Amino acid sequence: MADKGAMTVREAGRKGGRATKARHGPSFYKEIGRKGGETTKKRHGPKFYEKIGRKGGQRVRQLVAQAKRAAGR
């Protein structure tokens, strides 16, 4: 049996995220996001963004077609 005071992983993550936000503010997240984007850009180059953009577009087309088929039933 679980302890009544036990926390799920999701709850713990949310609590940690809120504490980090309170401690550092929104600019912290903006800065780490920028650093991560720069690292990804250096690591993979422009072709990476072309590839994932194409994949995203294909997926959207699939979902739209699927929704149209479902609506037609």
Q: What is this structure's pTM?
A: 0.51
Please answer whether residues 23 and 31 qualify as being in contact, where contact means their C-beta atoms are separated by less than 8 angstroms: no
Per-residue pLDDT reduced to its tens digit, 19-69:
999 999 989 999 999 999 899 999 999 999 999 999 999 999 999 999 999
Residues 32 and 25 sit within 8 Å (Cβ to Cβ): no
The domain limits of the chain are: 9-72
- Phi, psi for residue 27 in degrees, rounded to 5: -65, -30
